[in-house]
Structure 1
Amino acid sequence: MNTVIAFIFMFGLLVFIHEFGHLIFAKRAGMLAREFAIGFGPKIFAFTKNETVYTIRLLPIGGYVRVAGEDPEIIDLKPGHHIGLEFNESGKVNKIIVNNKSKHPNARVIEVERVDLDHDLIIEGYEIDEQDEKLRFDVDSKAYFVMDERETQIAPYDRQFASKTPGQRAMQLFAGPMMNFLLAIFIFLILGIIQGVPTEEARLGEIQPGSPAEEAGFQSSDEVIQIEGNAVSTWEEFTTIVRANPGQELNMTVLRDGQSEAVTVIPGEVIVEGPEGEETIGQIGVYQAFEKSILGTFKYGITQTYDTTSLILTNLGMLITGQYSIDMLSGPVGIYDATDQVVQTGFMNFLMWTAILSINLGVINLVPLPALDGGRLLFVGVELIRGKPMEPEKEGIFHFVGFAFLMLLMIIVTWNDIQRLFL
């Protein structure tokens, strides 16, 4: 149960923060954000506030912000359509009844001749059975379509995604990944405040019970200064040597209470998945020491985010070049299983895991693939180079194909997760 709650909290937080970035910058740019959704598929919960419908949907595989103009409008009035009109106190149309007009006895029913809800905001037409006089009606900029008794706000061109400057559109697209990076920095700052920041020198923190380090006589706060007669000054140097020598005796010198002590340890052999398959590394069962520092905490938040981003980009490059197999990717099932393991190790590690996944979500969304934020940013860049936007039909096909590819990839990855767990 703890894992289920943790996973739902983590997934909801990561998706909420990502989509919140898109939403805020869409509204700042004056775009009409029709829906803010967590998940895909059928609605579980929904409410409307300030023009936007907020929904929670059944399938926990992402989320989205639906901005007017990014997709074709659902309702398109054509000449010859019979519609009902209701008016506000200023005499402007504030409701356009598309069907079920009998349920709106006060609506004025007309036959449409011309509609412009993008720029001029007018509807022209004739009274039913009275084709002599053409009528012209001004439409309120926040009028609603009413179809099957469901209201959908109209989107004049100045409220649509395409009407904004390339800079505004690019910022709205980039805002989601940006918020994931900011969330990661914030989480790392919290970790730094609560538990301190890792020391740069090779100073030991917690010693795992029953580990090679405990058997060799290492103690918490020991600082490793030499290995096999070679000076060691950083934690990275220390761990690199240990990892490279599984099962090999290592003679180390540590500083303990200001005195040098000689310690001999044999790193345990641990099998891990590497770029070329399984490999064996050495581990002695120690954690890095932590220290409290205000300046160090801020530095830690930024450097950890940067280092994690660099590592993810490196692994992504290895995947593209074929050094990593697609079988090594994990989907929701694999992430749930990993979350279950992390939850068992404590709340601090769970926070660290959440920060790493937030960075991963930000990086993946910036990959220039169709249907991802990076793919849409690519089209904004192409527009700046060409001096004009890509035709909406071509861009729509491009993103549709990309979305289908991503869904296929998700199915493959999920199947691989299931095989690893149950087969």
Structure 2
Amino acid sequence: MDGFILGFASFVIVLVPLVIIHEFGHFIAAKLSGITVLEFGIGFPPRAAVLFTRGDTIYTLNWLPIGGFVRPYGEDFVRQKSEEELSADRQEIIERSIENPKSVFQATPWQRLFFMAAGPGINFLAALVLYIVIALAGWPFLEADATITEIMPDSVAASADLQIGDIVRAVDGETTESAGEVDTLLEESDAETVSLLVERDGEELTIPVTLPENRVQYDDIERVYISGVYEDSPADDAGFESEDVIVAVTDSEGTTEITSVEQLQDYTDDHNNIEMIVTVVREGEVLEIPVTPEEVDGDPRMGIGIQPVGTLDIGAVAINRDTEVVPKALPPGEAIARGTEEFVDAHRALGELVSALFAGDIEPEAARPVSPVGIGQIGGPVLDRTLDEGAMYPIVMFAALISIALAITNLLPIPGLDGGRILFVIIELIRGKPMEPEREGVFHFIGLLFLLGLVAITVINDIVNPIDLSSLR
């Protein structure tokens, strides 16, 4: 599906409902505080239609599909109205026969604080609910069979009866479901020989394997597994194949053992248009393949998709660590615990991102503010993955994260945002009297201009410099 369509669809599916939920939080708080709400609008004016009227509130559909708004008696978009500006609201109240109206002006500071904080608050709540719902419906778990992808020549494993494609199901009678579990059991074993239960062509076989005295921990060595070769790329022309395992590279300065994806990427970066010899293992045979990385979008690339595979016995056996995401529904108690944990982790991750940015540990580009256009650019691939996998967790978890970001952003103490208005209420509580509406309005108006300018800049940046989630080395 077209990227623009997916991006726009993700914007409509994710951001618009979250903004409406945000405004609904303000609406509920106003009702609970006794503040008269004249209008609850879906979209922004101009008004397209009045949907219905319930109580003191008319519910409207508006032409600009960018969320929604609440129009309480006595407040406009950025500030409380002055007495002179209330005449239009009063006239509307008279025409609609609303009895005992209560304006924002008449609400206590604590009621206004509740009213203003309720929007971000319900966004936090929505994120928590979304995480719990996805845990009930199908939480994404990573599963990885311990599949042998390569056996190094002249190794202990080669002399045993292990074969490429074998899936390790147990070690000395202990059942294993992942490469990590195989790793742990081998590390903990003091025996010279272990018994591996492997699945081969649908049959289970028990194979004794002698472990070397100086075996290396599973996480100490990694190999690089080629998951795909891009057509007409340098790697394609050189003769690389999917499932090749890269073990070393050689240039004029000598041979370097490759033990991680990051190491190969850095090595490739340093060899733009410079030939290097890549040593791979293919079906038990060691091959040396010359290749010259070419610059693509400013970065040297060979044209291969790569991923790590763990190695055992000093590289004698390569075990696939590629994982498959499998959604699994959790019982209610576990779902609540898992959803709450993810909710807390999301806040921690956002906090660590900000800390890393100020500490200079990451590039500003990696933590740049994004506009609704940028959210669509991120959400498009997420929605595409949702459709491809037929599972809801990618788009729902993305929506939960955006809901948290929306809440935090609105709580920033910037005039024009909920956080800015909360700040003025706190100042009122400290001073014992409110600031004059006209004076407060100036601050909020300036803040609103700043926010509109920031949005305009981020929109232009996201259009001129689109967010690129792909990374091909």
Whether the TM-score (by the shorter chain) exceeds 0.5 is: yes
Change (3 A) 1:267 1:194: farther
Q: Deviations over 1:249-281 (max 9, x none)?
A: 9xxxxxxxxxxxxxx99553498xxxxxx9xx9
Code of the residue aligned with 2:107 in structure 1: it is K
Residue matched to 1:286: 323
Change (3 A) 1:218 1:228: closer
Residue matched to 1:418: 463
- For structure 2, which runs of at least 5 residues remain unmatched after alignment? 151-163, 170-175, 189-217, 226-245, 248-258, 266-298, 300-305, 309-320, 387-391, 469-473
Code of the residue aligned with 2:94 in structure 1: it is A
Change (3 A) 1:246 1:363: farther
Q: Which residue of the other structure, out of 90, 94, 102, is the alignment partner of 1:159?
A: 102
Residue matched to 1:352: 397
Residue matched to 1:325: 364
Code of the residue aligned with 1:304 in structure 2: it is E
Residue matched to 1:51: 56
Greater relative contact order (Cα < 8 A, sep 6+): 2
Q: Which residue of the other structure, out of 88, 93, 117, is the alignment partner of 1:174?
A: 117
Change (3 A) 1:329 1:179: same
Contact 2:82/2:438 (8 A) holds in 1? no
Residue matched to 2:336: 298
Residue matched to 1:205: 143
Residue matched to 2:377: 337
Aligned-partner SS, 1:421: coil
Residue matched to 2:445: 400
Q: Does residue 185 in structure 1 map to residue 128 in structure 2?
A: yes
Q: Does residue 33 in structure 1 map to residue 52 in structure 2?
A: no
Change (3 A) 1:331 1:3: closer
State the alpha-carbon separation in 2 of the partners of residues 282 and 228 from structure 1.
24
Q: Deviations over 1:41-88 (max 9, x none)?
A: 53334335233233343444443212222246599499xxxxxxxxxx
Q: How many residues align?
A: 320
Q: Deviations over 1:138-158 (max 9, x none)?
A: x9x9413xxxxxx7x7897x6
Residue matched to 1:10: 14
Contact 2:113/2:425 (8 A) holds in 1? yes
State the alpha-carbon separation in 2 of the partners of residues 245 and 36 from structure 1.
60
Contact 2:56/2:98 (8 A) holds in 1? no
Deviation at 1:38, TM superposition (A): 3.5
Contact 1:343/1:349 (8 A) holds in 2? yes
Residue matched to 2:407: 362
Q: Which residue of the other structure, out of 42, 46, 51, is the alignment partner of 1:42?
A: 46
State the alpha-carbon separation in 1 of the partners of residues 68 and 12 from structure 2.
14
1:66-77 map, 5 Å: 66-71=71-76, 76=84
State the alpha-carbon separation in 2 of the partners of residues 370 and 245 from structure 1.
53
Aligned-partner SS, 2:94: strand
Deviation at 1:27, TM superposition (A): 1.2
Which deviates further from its counterpart, 5-14 or 26-35?
A: 5-14
Deviation at 1:350, TM superposition (A): 0.8
State the alpha-carbon separation in 2 of the partners of residues 246 and 421 from structure 1.
33
Contact 2:51/2:61 (8 A) holds in 1? no
Aligned-partner SS, 1:329: coil
Aligned-partner SS, 1:7: helix
Contact 2:379/2:395 (8 A) holds in 1? yes
Contact 1:208/1:285 (8 A) holds in 2? no
Contact 1:245/1:282 (8 A) holds in 2? no
Deviation at 1:384, TM superposition (A): 1.3
Change (3 A) 1:410 1:142: closer
Aligned-partner SS, 2:413: coil
Residue matched to 1:224: 180
Deviation at 1:298, TM superposition (A): 0.5
Contact 1:27/1:33 (8 A) holds in 2? yes
- Provide TM-score, normalisation by structure 2: 0.56
State the alpha-carbon separation in 1 of the partners of residues 385 and 467 from structure 2.
23
Aligned-partner SS, 1:34: strand
Change (3 A) 1:43 1:315: farther
Residue matched to 1:381: 426
Change (3 A) 1:419 1:6: closer
Code of the residue aligned with 2:397 in structure 1: it is M
Change (3 A) 1:77 1:422: closer
State the alpha-carbon separation in 2 of the partners of residues 216 and 267 from structure 1.
23
Deviation at 1:343, TM superposition (A): 1.0
Q: Which residue of the other structure, out of 227, 239, 261, is the alignment partner of 1:268?
A: 261
State the alpha-carbon separation in 1 of the partners of residues 33 and 438 from structure 2.
24
Contact 2:145/2:178 (8 A) holds in 1? no
Change (3 A) 1:296 1:142: same
Change (3 A) 1:14 1:43: same
- Provide TM-score, normalisation by structure 1: 0.62
